[in-house]
Structure 1
Amino acid sequence: DELVSKAFSGREGRAFLVNTCINVLPPSKSEERVLMTGRHTVSDVYCRGCGGRIGWKYEKAEEVGQRYKEGKYIIERERVVKENGWELE
C-alpha cells in the first residue's frame, strides 16, 4: 500500500516512490535540487542501521504537476535489502 511507483530514478539508478519509510534516521537539512522533473526541495534520508544514504524525501515541488510527490520518499533500489521473501519485481 505504501508503494506509489517503481518507475523513478535516483542517483544510482532505478528507485521507488513510497508514501512512508521506516528504519531511517530523520531527514537531513532541506536543500533545493534540480532533478529530471524540475526544481524540488528535498532532504536526504539515511538508513538507521548502517547510516548510508538510501534516497531522499520530497519536501516541496516548484511545479504544480509535481506536487503529488511532496511528503513522499525516493528509495534507491540498489539500497534496498530483500528480506522475508518479498519480491522487488
Structure 2
Amino acid sequence: MAGVILPRFYGCYNCRKRVALHDDIVNKDFVAGYRKRAYLFSHVMNVEAGNKTDRRLLSGVHMVADVHCGDCGVVLGWRYEKVYQEAQKYKESKTVLAKYKIVKLDYW
C-alpha cells in the first residue's frame, strides 16, 4: 500500500474508542482545566453531549455541554453550544477535547 495516506485518529484514553480525526483539528492552543492543553475540533464522533449550561471559561461566558465517550462515558471535554461574544463565534458548534483525555491510535 505504498503511497496510501491513512487517516490519523484520536481515541478515548480510557477505552480507545475513536472520537476524532487529526485533520479536524481547528486549533491546538486551547486550555482545559488547570493549564492542561486541549484541541478544538470541527467534528467529533462516538461522543454524547450532556446538559447545556452557561460556563465561565478563559475567553468569557459561553453555553457549553460536556462531551462523554459514547462507549465508556468518561468526560473528554466540552462542546460550544452558544457563544455570546461576536469575536468568539468561530467556536460555536465545535468541540474541545482535553489532550490528556485522548490518545493517538494506530492507523492500521
Length-normalised TM-score, structure 2: 0.73
Output the amino acid matched with 1:67. K
**Secondary structure in 2 aligned to 1:65?**
helix
> Which residue pairs with 2:103 in the alignment?
81
Q: CA deviation at 1:49?
A: 2.1
Q: Does residue 18 in structure 1 map to residue 36 in structure 2?
A: no
Cα distance in structure 1, aligned partners of 2:65 and 2:88 = 16
Cα distance in structure 2, aligned partners of 1:11 and 1:52 = 15
Cα distance in structure 2, aligned partners of 1:33 and 1:73 = 14
Ranges of 4+ aligned residues in structure 1 off by more than 4 Å: none
Cα distance in structure 2, aligned partners of 1:78 and 1:50 = 16
Q: Whose Rg is larger?
A: 2
Identity, % of aligned positions: 37
Q: Give the length in aligned residue pairs.
A: 84
> Which residue pairs with 2:11 in the alignment?
none
Provide structure 1 residue ranges, at least 5 long, that are not aligned to the other structure.
Answer: none
> Which residue pairs with 2:8 in the alignment?
none
> Which residue pairs with 2:52 in the alignment?
30
Q: Does residue 63 in structure 1 map to residue 79 in structure 2?
A: no
Provide structure 2 residue ranges, at least 5 long, that are not aligned to the other structure.
Answer: 1-22
